[in-house]
Structure 1
Amino acid sequence: MALHAYRAKRNFKATPEPEGKTTKSGPVLRYVIQKHDARNLHYDFRLELDGVLKSWAVPKGPSLDPAVKRLAVQVEDHPIAYGDFEGVIPPHQYGSGKVMLWDRGTWQPLEDAAKGYAKGHLHFRLNGEKLKGTWDLIRMHHRPDDKRDVENWLLVKVDDDAARTGAAAEVTDELDKSVATGRLIDEIDDAPVAARASSRTNDAVAHTAAKRSRGKPTSPAESTLPIMVKPQLASLVTTLPVNHQHWIAEIKFDGYRMLARIEAGSARLYSRNAKDWTSRLEKIASELAQLPLDTAWLDGELVGVKPDGSMSFQSLQNAFADDPGNDKPPRLMYYIFDVLFLDGVDIRPEPLLTRKQKLAALLDKLPKNSALRLSDHLQGQMDDAFAHACHHGLEGLILKRADAPYESVRNRNWLKLKCQQRQEFVVGGFTAPEGSRSGFGALLLGTYDADGHFQYAGRVGTGFNEKMLKLLATRLEQLERKTAPFDDATSRIAPRERAHVHWVKPELVVEVRFAEWTAEKRLRQAAFLGLRPDKPAHAVVPETPVDVPKAPSKPVAQAIKVKAKPASQSAATDVAGVSITHPGRIVFPGTGDTKLAIARYYQAVADYVLPQLHDRPLTLVRCPQGAEHPCFFQKHLSDSLPEGLTAIDIAGESGSARYMIANDLHSVIALVQSGVLELHTWGSTAKTLEKPDRLIFDLDPAPEVAWQTVVEGAQLLKGLLEELDLPTFLKTTGGKGLHVEVPLKPSLNWEEAKALTHVLASHLATALPERFVAIMSKAQRTGRIFVDYLRNARGATAVAAYSTRARETPSVATPISWDELPWLESASFWTIHNVPDRLAQQKVGPWAEYDQQRVRLTDSLRQRFASS
């Protein structure tokens, strides 16, 4: 409804303006000014608010003089997509005339934006390519005799460093070119012109410097940019390379491989099989065209990102479905991991790390809401990285030789290590549906061998929803043929199976997850994951693991972890004696909180968080680029971590390993500087490592469980523990659950602690099976709370009290009293913004008696516990 007036005034079959839609605004709000040569020349001033561009027509344009108040007539809301529009609105259409992108950037409300807008006074700061500083938009009162339904506002510059007077204040006279294409308003035409970022704005000095930093580029006529490039492919392996220092690791994205060709201010995107996807990815192509370069080939992966920040192959498929249904379309992101050609130079022969550094320089000034992302990498600690990838449901890792060139083949310089078996197959037939099943029963799958023979590999009959069954049934009907496409000499389809099969042309490629290959070379326990329109059928071969390459005779130079370095974020700030680099880097996308804000939070709560960490081995969650980017667990002390951490050697089944302890504020802040967002601790201290000093029950609800049910579950557990005369302390996790802790005097060993908590968790699950479950199986957790007793095993950890969490917003695991629980809104209620004030106002914290309440589990108490 917010865009009803906008759409009602326009015929989108006749005008090139975007129809657009209302979207959810994020933490970074967009601002744009468009110079509009319509019936009367004016400037359209637009601010993103509530998913649309609130818009005002400013006849004389903005002035930098605080004494000058410019009339701003409010007009209908415009879609966010309108902020990229530059072109000609045809005659006889609403607003006909030329539209030029005069300025763009972001704006920051200095007071509550919704309240200010309703009240009629917006006080804000602009960070545009032309306009900066603080401004006011003030609504004027109607005169009693004024019958017009328009709202008149005043646009006023606040007196600050960006203010000017006299001729210097008339910024529209001095800066008269498009920030997108560098054209004057008279040069705007109706030909499609791709935006070229701010490199053609009036700020030519910055653009010239950027070009000089890469050397002299070639002109389009001199360009050696090839028309097409074949991608390099990775070989499947089953183990990590032995010499980690020679390799880098990247996340194996669950998406579509895409290569981007950029030339002459235009970008095109191609799939792995050289199909042009540009028309489906216009926004991403537009952003690629804005990069500060003249020509390039880039390599990356297109992924679908769900609202919770996770990547989903299914949601990526839905984004291109003809009938997406009621599902909210995912956000499409292009993760770029390599640059092959740059400004007329073929850089494929250069080492991978050199190419990655050049790529990072290209992407270091992307706006926070960009659909482009640098695919970062890690060197060292690959065991932890792989474990973290699998733990969080990722497909696996891509391992690349740090010194290798880019080669358009499949070789052993690029490896893929998967958490589970999955690969592409070609559909050669299908069976008829049975019972209530619609569409078809199962797909018959195959792959091509080295001689081009199409060989049968088994069938898949699970993993389809109704929408996919319908879609595939239509596609299969169009491909149906009379004879089997599988090679007769190698086909292993039993005659009794053939009688019920419909054959199809082997053109449709699907991705399948499976448990293993049988001795007959058929898939076992296969499940459908999705279609792969990005891959050609003839290229689908069995993925046979290869041996991991041996270490080279000469060592590779130490890899540099590439990170984007926005100029505005490069200045260092000291916190507790630690230099925080990139202090302005946004770590939590939901609120815009920065790396510096996290460091200052820990400084503010040091007296509370340090006792929780004291002498306890740590496991870290590191998110070098922030919570919205890939994170990984790290439990071993390594050279990549800051100095000052206390080392502790802990014996394990395969030998001793070095863990870490953070006993002072300097160490904690240094971890923040290293990208750590979560601190998890052992349930014992270094002094009594083999004897836990707490029991912990982690109440982990299934996604559909209401918060009130979690509250009631914690209260039930409290009652059960109190019947055993055990003290209980409560903590929010900062996520969706609660921790109930029992402080102990170290006396039990780990096996005893786990066994006792298992008994109690099982008791709850047996007594109230509709509420609780004591096993990890997700299939059995639907609608219930998992009582996780495994936190009490040796080596297991739990998030420390007062630790931040790696989520969209800066939630904090927070101790609370049982009296507070009934009114608490959620387990993520406490954040870095309200916890310091909470602690400052409390005379006695909810865990003040934690150490004094420690109990020793005597034999009689343990017997009562075990028989509960």
Structure 2
Amino acid sequence: MSEPLAQYRRKRDFTGTREPAGKALQARAGSPLSFVVQRHQARALHYDFRLELDGVLVSWAVPKGPSRDPDVKRLAIKVEDHPVEYGKFEGDIPKGHYGAGHVDIWDSGTWTPDGDPRRGLASGHLRFTLRGGTLQGAWALLRLGKDDKQWLLRKLDDEAAVEGDDAEASPGRRKPASAKAAKTTTKAAASARPAPAGRRASLPAALVPQLATLVDAPPQGPGWSYEVKYDGYRILCRFQHGRARLVSRSGKDWTERMAPLADALSALDLPDGWMDGEVVCLDERGLSDFQLLQNALDGRTGDLSFMAFDLPYWDGADLRRLPLSERQSRLEAVLAALPEGGPLLMTQRLEVADGTEGRAAWAEACRLSLEGLICKRLDAPYVAGRGTAWLKLKCRPRQEYVIGGYTSPSGSRAHFGALLVGLRKDGKLAYAGRVGTGFTAATLASLHKKLRALETAASPFGGELPGPGRYGRGPAAVHWVQPELVAEIRYASLTQDGLLRQASFVGLREDKPADEVSGENTADPPAPSGARGDRVGNTLITHPRRVIMHDPDTSKLDLARYYEAAGPLILPHLQGRRIALLRCPDGTDATCFFQKHIGGELPDGLERDGEHLLIRSIEGVFAMAQRGVIEFHTWGAKEPRPDEPDRITIDLDPGPDVPWKAVAEGAQLARGLMEEIGLAPFLKTTGGKGLHLVAPIRPTQSWDTVKGLAHALANELARVIPERFTSNMSKVRRQGRIFVDYLRNGNGATAIAAYSARARAGAPVSMPVGWDVLEPGRDLRGAAYNIRNAVAAARELGDPWRGYEAARKTVGPRMLKKLGL
């Protein structure tokens, strides 16, 4: 008995029914795949929808039968696979037998999957084309719920679509090729459509919007819709008696503020209802631009557009209880009737099958300089407030801050120097840093006018500001203002004290009350339906909540999730290199130890190079994180030439009393010497108190030669600038100096891998950075980059090592001679 048909045969007595038992499974190579729809009058009438695949008919019971109307989605209950021969079965199933009743073939033909059908079935999103007597064109099956039982069968909009089609009714009329061309007036067309499914209700006077929760990784599993995150104002549009009213997320009426847009929406003469969306101003590339939006609201430029993404209420029906897929299908139908070039547009959505494709879509969105993505559960209702059915993925750190003061201008700057901003914490305004860039001349003038009107004698911040004297001298250096203005700020990262780094002004947020601006924390993405939330890739993380580091508390699963998010970043720095591992099975509070060898069978993603270990794929990183590994260290050589190093690593290890400014200056001095002898060093943080300068070289020399060159570099720095550097590792000699550690370049020696976490407070990360980031006033040591911000920072900074391979140099006699070797 073939396993795929075991359940089918177990349910039937073939001595009493004419249903076929089915032959041995045999996929028909090269033959078109068949499909059949059988009308089955059993205890209740239903239609059996069957697709041939791998020698069986994969089957669903569709209670109301297929509909050729794209606006109608039919529930489809997945049942056991049937034999291919069942596709020709018609007649009666005797009383007392499973499925007793009459069966007719309602339609049949061939089908073609869109892509890999097995992957589509596994991910819960199968698209395909039917060529039958009645059913034609593009279709989709979408899985719902936690198990494999409930699906939706839907016709996709194309030439084969039939409006108002029902399996038990007479055939409907064919939809025109252009739905827009078939409409005379929008209101008449919308009213002519069948009433949307949903609870009949009067038009609500107000609506509380659904909000998205910030996460640092895409949700796993299928069943999610991905939309572009726009750089605009969240607005709800209420249509009543032909007039459009625009309401902010906090309930303020913005109709007058956006009067041209409100008038344009009113001119569409749509039925009563509520649309949810974002008001944006698009640049010449079609991207939303917040500064253009600000200018448009001030009457200086541009037209506004309403990007609609939801339809909570429409034409007498409350649609909030329906799944998102249904609401957006209704929204598409309304927008399809509108004339082109109007103010009402549909949000851009992406076809994403699962979390892996979601991560790729997120990376692409960031590459295109978009704000990020919004992920929404396709089967979820519209629920007021913030929850986990809507998630947001940002491409760069950015949020609202309250303005509490400003500094006087200096140099050629007019009006003011920098804004002093904060967040609401426990009823007080907590200082969060200063913002000195991102202003145009017009912004400086208009914002200064607003700030002067709010000036007050007392500081609105709770407690003293850090860094006395930092903002200049004299009573006019800082001007306090009443904390009423909210600014959107883009920044690179936060310090350990929560202060902004590299902050840039984006614009004022007039849609958000200042007393509600308390910051936004990243949450974990929800676990996939029916799946374990403690699985990373194919690896099950045991003891996922075990705290392994502190300040803040960091769990074993937090670390594994970081390596999952950072996989594309760290893997190129690991593959092909022998590795050493720092394991802390019970966290950094217990025993940690280095490991270079693993006995027994290796987990997936790892392989051996003799007695040494190599990472083959990201699954190997996950497997090591499961075994308590926090840090990954690598050799300075790469396969297939492990005896000839391909890089020189100079480790600048400052004494405990060396300030950051001296470390930054020391790195520039070391860089100068390395460039002078012909090397091209790249910079990365160590996650500790120092920096690494890594110079790519061609693998032509032995370990001894390369180590000798590194030693000579260290000695030269110590000889030329003895007050700054020492090449002697003695702690006494390191007081007030930077130890230039050349020992990373010996055979068997290792250095922390780029993007590896460190087993230290704050969960810091060894971060590749550009030389332009190395500033005396920006301390990159410790947890400045950590597992919570490193991936976002990498997207913000781009790849500072993108010229690494092209910068390889040859260590030869000329270079060695410059150092007296």
Q: TM-score, normalised by structure 2?
A: 0.41
Q: TM-score, normalised by structure 1?
A: 0.39
Pair member with larger Rg = 2
